[in-house]
Amino acid sequence: MESVNFHHDLALLDWQVELGATEAICDAPVNRYEVPAAVEKPKKAVAAGVQRGIVAPVEVDAVAEAERAAQAAQFLPELQEALSRFELCDLKKGARNLVFSDGIAGARVMIVGEAPGRDEDRAGKPFVGRAGQLLDRMFGAIDMGRANADAPVYITNVLPWRPPQNRDPKPEEIAMMRPFLLRHIALAKPEVLVAVGNHACQALLNKRGITRLRGQWAEAAGLPVIPMFHPAYLLRNTDAKREAWADLLSLKGRLKG
């Protein structure tokens, strides 16, 4: 009798499998939406790796590595080389060129912009597009310029690589590149800094709000800093050129004083 029931039950089971049944139903109902009272936390992968004799990957502090690489540079060419070897910033992967600087190193005025755009990425120099041309005209109006041997300026950016689609720099990117920027300032030895745009103010002054900050002298890296509107902003907002001219005159007066 048991043999008959066995074969009968097996035939019923095969029939249900053929119909597509994939799960057995228990005698008691199961609430599959019920949250367990306590969920055991998974063990860290590092600990499991150690138990099996596997070396777990070590997280790298990008800011600390940038600080170490920047401080090791004793001259501007060495700093440029250190930046070219720095592999922890993902912006480098999508950029054509490292944009380091332009103008005359040792100039009294060092202009700090935000990040390269398409034209700068192609040329490998900061401020060469429409905004850069306006910047040259602005400083030319106070008898200064990147090629002016008598009153030169030196130009760099917070980020040396172009962000994709010219997007704004991210806070973590600014923090990563800040040690290189501060070392750049120390090696270039300017007397005055010009922070052009919001992101330059964030990197140098840890502040944002260029319409409020512009024209107000501050201090960064032990040097006087004047925040100014970015030339790209002035191209879109021509009414702000009056404030930009006032800031240029303030800079000129500071240099004379």
Span 49-88, pLDDT tens digits: 445 555 556 678 999 999 999 999 999 999 999 999 999 9
Q: Which has the higher per-residue pLDDT, 163 or 18?
A: 163
Given a cut of 90, is residue 253 above it in pLDDT?
yes
Residue 215 belongs to domain with CATH number? 3.40.470.10
Q: Residue 257's pLDDT is what?
A: 80
- Which of 12-21, 69-78, 133-142, 152-161 shows the lowest per-residue confidence on average (mean pLDDT)? 12-21
Its domain, for residue 103, covers 62-256
Per-residue pLDDT reduced to its tens digit, 189-214: 999 999 999 999 999 999 999 999 99
Instruction: State yes or no: pLDDT of 18 exceeds 80.
Output: no
Residue 29 forms part of a structural domain: no
- Residue 237, in any domain of the structure: yes
C-alpha atoms less than 13 angstroms from C-alpha of 52 in its C-beta half-sphere: 8
- Inside any domain, residue 44: no
Q: Is residue 157 part of a domain?
A: yes
Residue 106 lies in a domain: yes
Our count of domains for the chain comes to: 1
pLDDT given for residue 104 in this prediction: 97
The terminus-to-terminus CA distance of the chain in angstroms comes to 113
